[in-house]
Structure 1
C-alpha cells in the first residue's frame, strides 16, 4: 500500500482509467515510463523514484495472468538480473527457434490445478493403507 499523497499524485499522473485498472489488477497505483512491450502484448514499466525492488512492474494483457506469460529476456530484466531491457539489448530480444510454432503462445503453469503433473510409480508401495474390519455383534 502507499500513502494517500502518493496515491493522489499517481491518480493525477496516470489518469482515472489507468488508476482504477491498476487498483483492480496490481492493488496499488504506480506511475512510470513505458520501457517496452513484448510479443504477447504485456507492457513493462519502470520508475526509479519508487521503493527499491519495486521500480519495475508489468501490465499484463490477459487479466488471467501468470508468470509463465513473461518472455525470458523480460523476466531477466524484471528480476534485476540485467540492467538493460530487451527493447535496448539485442542479445535479450526474443528470437523464434526453428522448432517453435509460428504463433505466439505460452504454456500455462498448471501447478495446484487438475492439470498438474502427477508422476505414478510402477513398483508396489511398501506402506499399505489400514482397512478396518468390523466384527458383527452377538
Structure 2
C-alpha cells in the first residue's frame, strides 16, 4: 500500500501513475533493455517535428544512469532506430554499462581525498597559490 501511495503522490521519485497513464494512452511500446527499463515513443509527432521518447524505469526509481549506451543514443535522438530493431552491437571500444556509484562505498575517490587512502600529490610548478596582498 505504501508503494502505491508513493507512486501516486511522490513525483520526484520517478514513475507516477500520471506518467503510466499518459504512456498507456499516448505511447507505443518499443522495447526493453537488460535492466528491465521499458521504452516508448509517442503515437503523434510533436510541434517540434519529432516524436516524444519515454522510459519507464525498472524498480520505480528514476535513475538516468541505468540507461545503456544503445538506448541512450535512441533516447537523445542520435539515432532514429531503437536497438531492438537495429540489432545493436556495441563497438569494440565501448565499456560495459556501470551504474552511477556516487554516494556508495564503490564511488571513485582520487588518491589523497579524505575518504581514500594515500597522500595528496604535491602541487607542481605550474600552479601559484593565491595570497591576498
TM score, norm. by length of structure 1: 0.53
d(CA) in 1 for partners of 2:9, 2:40 = 15
Task: Decide whether the 8 Å contact of 1:71 with 1:94 is kept in 2.
Answer: no
**Superposition RMSD in Å:** 4.2
Task: Decide whether the 8 Å contact of 2:39 with 2:56 is kept in 1.
Answer: yes
Q: Where does 1:1-138 land on structure 2 (aligned, <5 Å)? A: 20=8, 25-26=14-15, 28-29=18-19, 30=22, 31=24, 32-49=27-44, 51=46, 52=48, 55-90=52-87, 92-93=88-89, 106-108=98-100, 110=102, 115=107, 117=109, 121-123=121-123, 126-127=128-129
Q: Which runs of 5+ in 1 are unaligned?
A: 1-18, 131-138
d(CA) in 1 for partners of 2:90, 2:79 = 15
Q: Which runs of 5+ in 2 are unaligned?
A: 1-6, 112-119
- Higher Cα radius of gyration: 1
Greater fraction of residues in strand:
2
Q: Which residue of 2 aligns with 1:135?
A: none
d(CA) in 2 for partners of 1:22, 1:77 = 28
d(CA) in 1 for partners of 2:29, 2:9 = 16
TM score, norm. by length of structure 2: 0.55
Task: Decide whether the 8 Å contact of 1:33 with 1:46 is kept in 2.
Answer: yes
Task: Decide whether the 8 Å contact of 1:68 with 1:109 is kept in 2.
Answer: no
Q: Aligned in 2, Cα 1:50/1:34: closer, same or farther, shift over 3 Å?
A: same
Greater alpha carbon shift after TM alignment, 61-70 vs 118-127 = 118-127
- Name segments (4+ residues, structure 1) moved above 6 Å: none
- Please list the CA deviations of residues 44-72 of structure 1 after superposition, one character each: whole Å capped at 9, or x if unmatched: 01113263466111111133332221111
